[in-house]
Amino acid sequence: GQQLNQSPQSMFIQEGEDVSMNCTSSSIFNTWLWYKQDPGEGPVLLIALYKAGELTSNGRLTAQFGITRKDSFLNISASIPSDVGIYFCAGLFLAQGGSEKLVFGKGTKLTVNP
Amino acid sequence: DGGITQSPKYLFRKEGQNVTLSCEQNLNHDAMYWYRQDPGQGLRLIYYSQIVNDFQKGDIAEGYSVSREKKESFPLTVTSAQKNPTAFYLCASSIDQAGGYTDTQYFGPGTRLTVL
């Protein structure tokens, strides 16, 4: 089935640095979603991307839907301590039978040192 | 406030007991989902339901059961047949558009189940 390769698995950065993470696949996706999960909480949607090539920002976050529809990246600029958490990418694809299904990457764990 | 609620936040059970996790949403979403999350893993789909009184197995349905008697509620039962039930369980919901296309999924706060 469809799989997403999310990297890096973890990142340790200093406050103020920029961060970049990405998800790649050998399969085509119709929608890319980026979520953030705080410890012990459910994931919260950060950015949704619906069209190949789309570049969308949400405050200090920017995400792009790859032109091949097989990848997406998320950038965080000028990181702050509250950016700590696990970031998940998720892709919607057309499954057999014509329904759309969602698959998740394994997450990027971000640690920000003050 | 609209949202998804899961209760309880923490749940402890003895091995061999069935346990039911609650998930309620007041977003008027058609579709609801249950995921399991283990450390270092992504989210794995257990069951999902696109409409009342209908549900489908996900990737890891063995040892779990669900019901969808009301649009707002999608409880998950972890049965004694589940070999490794200790995990963080997440419920989600989404608008289910016509033609089988789903919209963005929104998550509840999760229930951490520990089986002793």
Start-to-end C-alpha separation, chain A? 40
Has residue B4 got a pLDDT over 70?
A: yes
Q: What is the pLDDT of residue B2?
A: 67
Chain B contact probe: residue of A58, A100, A108 with most B CBs at under 10 A: A100
| A86 shares contact with chain B (CB less than 8 Å) | no
Nearest chain A residue to B101 by CA distance is A100
Q: What is the pLDDT of residue A57?
A: 95
Has residue B99 got a pLDDT over 50?
A: no
Q: What is the pLDDT of residue B102?
A: 52
Q: How far apart are CA A1 and CA B44, in angstroms?
A: 13
Has residue A112 got a pLDDT over 80?
A: yes
What number of C-beta contacts closer than 8 Å exist between A and B?
53
Residue A106 and residue B41: Cβ atoms within 8 Å? yes
Task: Find the mean pLDDT for residues B94-114.
Answer: 76
Has residue A12 got a pLDDT over 60?
A: yes
Q: What pairs with residue A71 in β-bridges?
A: A24
Q: What is the pLDDT of residue B101?
A: 46
DSSP B99: G
Q: What is the pLDDT of residue A113?
A: 92
Residue A42 and residue B99: Cβ atoms within 8 Å? no
| A88 shares contact with chain B (CB less than 8 Å) | yes
B43 three-state secondary structure? strand
Residue B102 and residue A100: Cβ atoms within 8 Å? yes
CA distance B107 to chain A (A): 6
**pLDDT tens per residue, range A53-86:** 999 999 999 999 999 999 999 999 999 999 999 9
- Counting Cβ atoms within 10 Å, is residue B65 exposed (0-12), middle (13-18) or buried (19+)? middle
Task: Find the mean pLDDT for residues A25-29.
Answer: 92
**pLDDT tens per residue, range A32-47:** 999 999 988 999 999 9
Q: How far apart are CA B42 and CA A103, in angstroms?
A: 9
Q: What is the pLDDT of residue B100?
A: 44
Report the candidate in B78, B107, B99, B74 with the shortest Cα–Cα distance to residue B4: B107
| A32 shares contact with chain B (CB less than 8 Å) | no
| A33 shares contact with chain B (CB less than 8 Å) | yes
Report the candidate in A78, A60, A76 with the shortest Cα–Cα distance to residue A22: A76
